[in-house]
A = this chain, B = another copy of it.
Amino acid sequence: MGARRGRQIVVRDYADDAIGPEHFEMVVAEVRGLEEGEVLVRNWWTSVDPGMRLRLRPDPPAGYFPQFKLGEPLDGVLTVGEVIESRAEGFSPGDVVWHPFGWRELSIVAADVNYMNGVARLQVLDMDGVEPQHYLGALGSMGLTAYAGLSMVGALSGGETVWVSAAAGAVGSLAVQFALRSGNRVVASAGSSAKVAWLESLGATAFNWRSTSVAEGLAQAAPEGIDVYFDNVGGGHLEAALAALRPGGRVALCGSVSEYESAPMGPANLFQATAKELTLRGFRGSLHLDLLPEMQSEVRSMVKDGSLVYEESIYDGLERAPEAMSDMLAGRSMGKVLVRI
């Protein structure tokens, strides 16, 4: 039989400012034969996450996932597909799996390697009552990130005021729902009136930071201040939170998407942390795999009782992945951004 070929996107160039399709290139790669312990996956869905943007900077932050390599496909991007050939025990053609070799049609994956802190180890997915792409969102690293962040700052006990920024995004919208379900009052911010309306429908007090200032929107939504801030944005959003947090307040530092395409600035009012005894906790969902079963069980019960509200922005065709990334970073997408291959 002839060698298989599959399309894949490789990195052409890094970018300091706005990234776009010109920084990528579509190539057709020949897929080698499998070695013992490997499977070949035909990918169905691949992920587009804000954190990937940092890996496309010329100066990616130290200590984070490594920079994507120039001229190579993007390794470390969660992807769901079907096993079409297997030389690994426990995996058979037809199995639906996740793995971290995304932005390509065909992936060879070794079964026994713990990629990306283990979060992306090749795994057969339980498809009972859920769709495969949910594993790139609510049942996967997005859900884990939202859940772990709230857990680490003690916001799953309820009874507090929790602000979530970029709240119409994949992680944000799950954080909003987990926080509400735990009995908190939730303030949610986003960058369009459509997103705000959607967030209000979830039960949050929402505001559009583009139509007012962040500080004003927050002051109106939570005149008494906030107890917890789940930060997906950084920059001016974080400054507004430090000003609005009540004594003893906590910040879950999840991401700072406002600063992924510019020179980051720290919060000028960080002294508020001293003045009010605030705690800022940086975290990465992928380092809290221990919470995955608990989070997945929570999400499954939300799926079953119909309470999970789950938005997806789907881009059809692998060639649209760069466009999906641009749209997400510019705030033009809602919920989980997915590419259907």
Q: Which residues of A contact B (CB under 8 A)?
A: 54, 61-64, 234, 238-239, 243, 247, 253-256, 259, 263-284, 287
Contact = CB atoms under 8 A, between A and B. Distances in A.
A-B pairs, 5 with minimum CB distance: A266-B266, A273-B282, A63-B275, A64-B275, A266-B267
Given A265-B265, A277-B282, A277-B283, A272 B63 contact: yes
Contacts of A276: 63, 282
B287 A277 contact: yes
Contact of A268 (B64, B247, B266, B277): B266
A291 to B, nearest CB: 14
Given A61-B272, A61-B275, A266-B267, 17 more contacts: A61-B269, A62-B243, A62-B272, A63-B275, A253-B270, A255-B274, A263-B268, A264-B268, A265-B265, A265-B268, A266-B266, A266-B268, A267-B270, A272-B282, A277-B287, A279-B281, A280-B281
Contacts of A280: 273, 279-281
Contacts of A284: 274-275, 277
A279 B282 contact: yes
Contacts of A278: 281-282
A256 B270 CA distance: 9
Contact of A253 (B64, B239, B268, B274): B274
A278 B283 CA distance: 7
Given A62-B243, A63-B247, A243-B62, A275 B269 contact: no
Contacts of A269: 61, 264, 266
A270 B63 contact: no
Contacts of A259: 271
A286 to B, nearest CB: 10
